[in-house]
Structure 1
Amino acid sequence: MRNFKTSKKNRTNYIYYSADGQAIKIKPNEDEATTTIIVTLHSWDDAEFNADKRERYHVPVYMDAYCNENEDVAADRNPYLVDTASDPLESIIQSIEETEHKEKIGRLRAAIGTLKPQQKELIKKVFFEKRTNVSIADEEGVTEAAIRNRLKKIYEKLRKKI
Protein backbone atom coordinates (compact mmCIF):
# COMPACT_ATOMS: atom_id res chain seq x y z
CA MET A 1 0.00 0.00 0.00
CA ARG A 2 1.27 3.44 -0.92
CA ASN A 3 1.78 6.02 1.81
CA PHE A 4 1.77 9.03 -0.52
CA LYS A 5 0.30 10.09 -3.85
CA THR A 6 3.85 10.75 -5.15
CA SER A 7 6.51 8.08 -4.75
CA LYS A 8 9.47 8.95 -2.51
CA LYS A 9 12.03 8.88 -5.36
CA ASN A 10 10.06 11.55 -7.28
CA ARG A 11 9.89 13.95 -4.35
CA THR A 12 12.46 16.60 -5.11
CA ASN A 13 10.47 19.57 -3.92
CA TYR A 14 6.98 20.36 -2.87
CA ILE A 15 4.86 23.34 -3.81
CA TYR A 16 2.15 24.45 -1.45
CA TYR A 17 -0.12 27.44 -1.83
CA SER A 18 -1.00 29.76 1.04
CA ALA A 19 -4.49 31.13 1.58
CA ASP A 20 -3.63 34.23 -0.46
CA GLY A 21 -2.45 32.08 -3.40
CA GLN A 22 1.30 32.52 -2.90
CA ALA A 23 3.35 29.48 -3.99
CA ILE A 24 5.73 28.12 -1.36
CA LYS A 25 8.47 25.66 -2.42
CA ILE A 26 9.61 23.20 0.18
CA LYS A 27 12.75 21.16 -0.40
CA PRO A 28 13.63 18.28 1.89
CA ASN A 29 16.50 18.96 4.31
CA GLU A 30 16.58 22.70 3.50
CA ASP A 31 15.33 25.56 5.69
CA GLU A 32 14.49 23.13 8.54
CA ALA A 33 12.03 21.21 6.32
CA THR A 34 12.16 17.80 7.94
CA THR A 35 10.61 14.58 6.75
CA THR A 36 8.07 14.86 9.58
CA ILE A 37 6.82 18.22 8.30
CA ILE A 38 6.57 16.86 4.77
CA VAL A 39 4.77 13.71 5.98
CA THR A 40 2.28 15.92 7.86
CA LEU A 41 1.68 18.06 4.79
CA HIS A 42 1.15 14.92 2.71
CA SER A 43 -1.35 13.53 5.20
CA TRP A 44 -3.32 16.80 5.04
CA ASP A 45 -3.22 16.70 1.25
CA ASP A 46 -4.31 13.07 1.19
CA ALA A 47 -7.19 13.79 3.56
CA GLU A 48 -8.34 16.71 1.42
CA PHE A 49 -7.92 14.70 -1.79
CA ASN A 50 -9.97 11.81 -0.38
CA ALA A 51 -12.68 14.17 0.91
CA ASP A 52 -12.93 15.79 -2.52
CA LYS A 53 -13.09 12.36 -4.14
CA ARG A 54 -15.92 11.28 -1.81
CA GLU A 55 -17.81 14.50 -2.47
CA ARG A 56 -17.46 14.17 -6.25
CA TYR A 57 -18.98 10.69 -5.95
CA HIS A 58 -21.66 11.29 -3.32
CA VAL A 59 -23.04 14.69 -4.29
CA PRO A 60 -24.38 13.66 -7.72
CA VAL A 61 -25.76 10.41 -6.30
CA TYR A 62 -27.57 12.12 -3.45
CA MET A 63 -28.65 15.10 -5.56
CA ASP A 64 -30.49 12.67 -7.82
CA ALA A 65 -32.22 11.24 -4.76
CA TYR A 66 -33.33 14.65 -3.52
CA CYS A 67 -34.04 16.51 -6.77
CA ASN A 68 -36.42 15.82 -9.59
CA GLU A 69 -35.50 15.73 -13.28
CA ASN A 70 -35.62 19.54 -13.56
CA GLU A 71 -33.10 19.83 -10.70
CA ASP A 72 -35.80 21.40 -8.56
CA VAL A 73 -35.74 20.33 -4.96
CA ALA A 74 -38.19 17.53 -4.48
CA ALA A 75 -39.59 18.55 -1.08
CA ASP A 76 -41.36 15.25 -0.61
CA ARG A 77 -38.03 13.40 -0.75
CA ASN A 78 -35.89 15.54 1.50
CA PRO A 79 -37.65 16.54 4.73
CA TYR A 80 -34.39 16.15 6.66
CA LEU A 81 -32.59 18.72 4.53
CA VAL A 82 -34.68 21.59 5.86
CA ASP A 83 -32.54 23.80 8.06
CA THR A 84 -34.84 25.72 10.36
CA ALA A 85 -31.97 26.97 12.53
CA SER A 86 -31.18 29.78 10.11
CA ASP A 87 -34.81 30.79 9.58
CA PRO A 88 -35.55 33.83 11.76
CA LEU A 89 -39.30 33.31 11.53
CA GLU A 90 -38.96 29.73 12.75
CA SER A 91 -36.79 30.94 15.66
CA ILE A 92 -39.44 33.49 16.63
CA ILE A 93 -42.20 30.90 16.45
CA GLN A 94 -40.17 28.48 18.56
CA SER A 95 -39.46 31.13 21.22
CA ILE A 96 -43.18 32.04 21.34
CA GLU A 97 -44.11 28.38 21.74
CA GLU A 98 -41.56 27.99 24.56
CA THR A 99 -42.87 31.14 26.28
CA GLU A 100 -46.50 29.99 25.96
CA HIS A 101 -45.54 26.54 27.26
CA LYS A 102 -43.83 28.06 30.32
CA GLU A 103 -46.83 30.29 30.97
CA LYS A 104 -49.23 27.33 30.73
CA ILE A 105 -47.07 25.24 33.07
CA GLY A 106 -47.05 28.12 35.55
CA ARG A 107 -50.83 28.42 35.42
CA LEU A 108 -51.19 24.65 35.81
CA ARG A 109 -48.93 24.65 38.89
CA ALA A 110 -50.94 27.47 40.42
CA ALA A 111 -54.20 25.63 39.68
CA ILE A 112 -52.88 22.39 41.19
CA GLY A 113 -51.90 24.38 44.27
CA THR A 114 -55.59 25.21 44.84
CA LEU A 115 -56.63 21.54 44.96
CA LYS A 116 -57.44 19.71 48.20
CA PRO A 117 -54.71 17.36 49.55
CA GLN A 118 -56.72 14.24 48.56
CA GLN A 119 -57.07 15.60 45.01
CA LYS A 120 -53.35 16.37 44.81
CA GLU A 121 -52.59 12.84 45.97
CA LEU A 122 -54.85 11.38 43.27
CA ILE A 123 -53.13 13.53 40.58
CA LYS A 124 -49.76 12.31 41.89
CA LYS A 125 -50.82 8.67 41.67
CA VAL A 126 -52.22 9.02 38.15
CA PHE A 127 -49.58 11.21 36.50
CA PHE A 128 -46.37 10.73 38.44
CA GLU A 129 -46.68 7.13 39.59
CA LYS A 130 -48.46 6.14 36.32
CA ARG A 131 -50.98 4.00 38.18
CA THR A 132 -54.26 2.83 36.71
CA ASN A 133 -57.65 3.87 37.97
CA VAL A 134 -58.33 0.24 38.93
CA SER A 135 -55.24 -0.08 41.15
CA ILE A 136 -56.04 3.24 42.87
CA ALA A 137 -59.64 2.12 43.41
CA ASP A 138 -58.49 -1.20 44.91
CA GLU A 139 -56.14 0.62 47.27
CA GLU A 140 -58.83 3.06 48.44
CA GLY A 141 -61.61 0.46 48.56
CA VAL A 142 -63.87 2.21 46.06
CA THR A 143 -65.03 1.46 42.52
CA GLU A 144 -63.12 2.43 39.44
CA ALA A 145 -66.07 4.64 38.44
CA ALA A 146 -65.61 6.62 41.66
CA ILE A 147 -61.97 7.31 40.74
CA ARG A 148 -63.03 8.35 37.23
CA ASN A 149 -65.62 10.75 38.68
CA ARG A 150 -63.05 12.25 41.07
CA LEU A 151 -60.62 12.76 38.22
CA LYS A 152 -63.36 14.31 36.09
CA LYS A 153 -64.12 16.83 38.86
CA ILE A 154 -60.41 17.60 39.25
CA TYR A 155 -60.00 18.16 35.49
CA GLU A 156 -63.03 20.50 35.43
CA LYS A 157 -61.67 22.48 38.35
CA LEU A 158 -58.23 22.75 36.70
CA ARG A 159 -59.77 23.70 33.33
CA LYS A 160 -61.66 26.60 34.96
CA LYS A 161 -58.54 27.90 36.70
CA ILE A 162 -56.30 27.63 33.66
Structure 2
Amino acid sequence: MLRNYKTSKKNRTNYIYYSANGEAIKIVPNENGVTDAIIATLHSFDDEEYNGGRREKYHVPVHMDAYCDEKEENSADRNPYLVDNDSNPLESIIQSIEKTEHKEKIDRLRAAIETLKPKQKELIQKVFYEKQTNVSIAAKAGVTEAAIRNRLKKIYDNLRKKI
Protein backbone atom coordinates (compact mmCIF):
# COMPACT_ATOMS: atom_id res chain seq x y z
CA MET A 1 0.00 0.00 0.00
CA LEU A 2 1.37 3.39 -0.92
CA ARG A 3 1.66 6.27 1.48
CA ASN A 4 -0.55 9.31 1.03
CA TYR A 5 2.31 11.75 1.68
CA LYS A 6 6.10 11.93 1.73
CA THR A 7 7.91 11.87 5.04
CA SER A 8 10.49 14.63 5.11
CA LYS A 9 14.08 13.41 5.03
CA LYS A 10 14.90 14.84 8.46
CA ASN A 11 12.01 12.85 9.99
CA ARG A 12 13.11 9.58 8.43
CA THR A 13 14.93 8.16 11.43
CA ASN A 14 14.39 4.48 10.76
CA TYR A 15 12.77 2.26 8.22
CA ILE A 16 10.57 -0.77 8.61
CA TYR A 17 10.37 -3.03 5.59
CA TYR A 18 8.51 -6.27 5.25
CA SER A 19 9.98 -9.34 3.65
CA ALA A 20 8.04 -11.60 1.29
CA ASN A 21 6.96 -13.78 4.21
CA GLY A 22 5.70 -10.76 6.20
CA GLU A 23 8.63 -10.46 8.63
CA ALA A 24 9.32 -6.86 9.73
CA ILE A 25 12.88 -5.66 9.16
CA LYS A 26 13.91 -2.49 10.98
CA ILE A 27 16.73 -0.45 9.46
CA VAL A 28 18.31 2.23 11.68
CA PRO A 29 20.98 4.63 10.33
CA ASN A 30 24.52 4.08 11.65
CA GLU A 31 23.66 0.70 13.18
CA ASN A 32 24.69 -2.73 11.89
CA GLY A 33 26.64 -1.25 8.94
CA VAL A 34 23.79 0.91 7.64
CA THR A 35 25.55 3.87 5.99
CA ASP A 36 24.31 7.23 4.73
CA ALA A 37 24.65 5.88 1.18
CA ILE A 38 22.27 3.01 1.97
CA ILE A 39 19.82 5.43 3.56
CA ALA A 40 20.03 7.76 0.54
CA THR A 41 19.30 4.80 -1.74
CA LEU A 42 16.29 3.85 0.39
CA HIS A 43 15.07 7.46 0.25
CA SER A 44 15.31 7.46 -3.55
CA PHE A 45 13.45 4.12 -3.83
CA ASP A 46 10.72 5.31 -1.47
CA ASP A 47 10.35 8.66 -3.23
CA GLU A 48 10.29 7.00 -6.64
CA GLU A 49 7.54 4.62 -5.57
CA TYR A 50 5.58 7.41 -3.90
CA ASN A 51 5.84 9.69 -6.97
CA GLY A 52 4.82 6.82 -9.24
CA GLY A 53 1.74 6.26 -7.11
CA ARG A 54 0.87 9.96 -7.23
CA ARG A 55 1.10 9.95 -11.03
CA GLU A 56 -1.20 6.93 -11.20
CA LYS A 57 -3.74 8.47 -8.80
CA TYR A 58 -3.86 11.60 -10.95
CA HIS A 59 -3.59 10.29 -14.50
CA VAL A 60 -5.76 7.19 -14.39
CA PRO A 61 -8.99 8.91 -13.25
CA VAL A 62 -8.40 11.96 -15.45
CA HIS A 63 -7.80 9.90 -18.56
CA MET A 64 -10.55 7.42 -17.81
CA ASP A 65 -13.00 10.31 -17.51
CA ALA A 66 -11.96 11.36 -21.00
CA TYR A 67 -12.62 7.86 -22.34
CA CYS A 68 -15.93 7.22 -20.58
CA ASP A 69 -19.07 9.26 -20.24
CA GLU A 70 -21.00 9.89 -17.01
CA LYS A 71 -22.68 6.48 -17.30
CA GLU A 72 -19.21 4.87 -17.56
CA GLU A 73 -19.95 3.82 -21.11
CA ASN A 74 -17.29 3.92 -23.77
CA SER A 75 -17.11 7.34 -25.41
CA ALA A 76 -15.11 6.33 -28.47
CA ASP A 77 -17.50 8.27 -30.66
CA ARG A 78 -16.28 11.49 -28.98
CA ASN A 79 -12.66 10.52 -28.41
CA PRO A 80 -10.46 10.23 -31.50
CA TYR A 81 -7.74 8.41 -29.51
CA LEU A 82 -10.02 5.42 -29.05
CA VAL A 83 -11.08 5.13 -32.68
CA ASP A 84 -9.15 2.68 -34.83
CA ASN A 85 -9.51 3.73 -38.45
CA ASP A 86 -6.74 1.50 -39.80
CA SER A 87 -9.18 -1.16 -40.98
CA ASN A 88 -11.79 1.29 -42.26
CA PRO A 89 -11.63 1.28 -46.09
CA LEU A 90 -13.34 4.66 -46.38
CA GLU A 91 -10.78 6.21 -44.04
CA SER A 92 -7.96 4.66 -46.10
CA ILE A 93 -9.36 6.23 -49.27
CA ILE A 94 -9.68 9.63 -47.58
CA GLN A 95 -6.11 9.45 -46.28
CA SER A 96 -4.88 8.45 -49.74
CA ILE A 97 -6.67 11.42 -51.32
CA GLU A 98 -5.32 13.77 -48.65
CA LYS A 99 -1.75 12.51 -49.24
CA THR A 100 -2.14 12.93 -53.00
CA GLU A 101 -3.60 16.43 -52.65
CA HIS A 102 -0.86 17.37 -50.18
CA LYS A 103 1.86 16.15 -52.57
CA GLU A 104 0.28 18.06 -55.46
CA LYS A 105 0.14 21.25 -53.38
CA ILE A 106 3.77 20.85 -52.33
CA ASP A 107 4.80 20.34 -55.96
CA ARG A 108 2.89 23.50 -56.99
CA LEU A 109 4.50 25.42 -54.12
CA ARG A 110 8.00 24.30 -55.17
CA ALA A 111 7.30 25.36 -58.75
CA ALA A 112 5.97 28.73 -57.55
CA ILE A 113 9.04 29.30 -55.37
CA GLU A 114 11.26 28.70 -58.39
CA THR A 115 9.60 31.68 -60.13
CA LEU A 116 10.62 34.07 -57.33
CA LYS A 117 13.49 36.51 -57.68
CA PRO A 118 16.81 35.49 -56.05
CA LYS A 119 16.41 37.97 -53.16
CA GLN A 120 12.87 36.71 -52.51
CA LYS A 121 14.11 33.10 -52.48
CA GLU A 122 16.86 34.12 -50.08
CA LEU A 123 14.31 35.72 -47.74
CA ILE A 124 12.14 32.57 -47.84
CA GLN A 125 15.26 30.52 -47.09
CA LYS A 126 16.06 32.65 -44.03
CA VAL A 127 12.51 32.57 -42.66
CA PHE A 128 11.53 28.94 -43.25
CA TYR A 129 14.75 26.96 -43.42
CA GLU A 130 17.08 28.91 -41.15
CA LYS A 131 14.21 29.90 -38.78
CA GLN A 132 15.44 33.49 -38.50
CA THR A 133 13.05 36.09 -37.11
CA ASN A 134 11.91 39.12 -39.08
CA VAL A 135 13.75 41.32 -36.58
CA SER A 136 17.09 39.53 -37.01
CA ILE A 137 16.75 39.54 -40.82
CA ALA A 138 15.92 43.27 -40.75
CA ALA A 139 18.90 44.02 -38.48
CA LYS A 140 21.31 42.18 -40.80
CA ALA A 141 19.83 43.86 -43.90
CA GLY A 142 19.80 47.31 -42.28
CA VAL A 143 16.06 47.83 -42.78
CA THR A 144 13.05 47.94 -40.47
CA GLU A 145 11.12 44.87 -39.40
CA ALA A 146 8.06 46.33 -41.13
CA ALA A 147 9.99 46.33 -44.42
CA ILE A 148 10.72 42.61 -44.04
CA ARG A 149 7.10 41.95 -43.13
CA ASN A 150 5.93 43.83 -46.25
CA ARG A 151 8.36 41.89 -48.46
CA LEU A 152 7.10 38.62 -47.05
CA LYS A 153 3.48 39.68 -47.58
CA LYS A 154 4.21 40.39 -51.25
CA ILE A 155 5.95 37.02 -51.61
CA TYR A 156 3.04 35.20 -49.96
CA ASP A 157 0.50 36.97 -52.17
CA ASN A 158 2.55 36.11 -55.24
CA LEU A 159 2.82 32.45 -54.20
CA ARG A 160 -0.89 32.26 -53.34
CA LYS A 161 -1.80 33.39 -56.87
CA LYS A 162 0.46 30.76 -58.44
CA ILE A 163 -0.71 27.90 -56.26
Q: TM-score, normalised by structure 2?
A: 0.54
1:131 is paired with a residue whose SS is coil
- Where in structure 1 do 4 or more consecutive aligned residues deviate above 6 Å? none
Question: 1 CA distance for matches of 2:88 and 2:104?
Answer: 25
2:122 aligned partner: 121
Give 1 or 2 for the bigger CA radius of gyration.
Answer: 1
Deviation of residue 68 (structure 1)? 7.2
Stretches of structure 1 that go unaligned for 5 or more consecutive residues are 1-61
2:143 paired with 1:142:
yes
Stretches of structure 2 that go unaligned for 5 or more consecutive residues are 1-63
C-alpha contact 2:77 2:83 (8 A) present in aligned 1: no
Q: Residues 6-155 of structure 1 correspond to what in structure 2 (within 5 A)?
A: 66=68, 73-75=74-76, 79-155=80-156
Aligned-residue RMSD, C-alpha: 2.4
C-alpha contact 1:68 1:74 (8 A) present in aligned 2: no
C-alpha contact 1:66 1:77 (8 A) present in aligned 2: no
Q: Call closer, same or farther: CA 1:160–1:77 in 2, change over 3 Å.
A: closer
C-alpha contact 2:68 2:75 (8 A) present in aligned 1: yes
Question: 1 CA distance for matches of 2:80 and 2:130?
Answer: 37
1:158 aligned partner: 159
Question: 1 CA distance for matches of 2:97 and 2:153?
Answer: 31
Matched residue count: 99
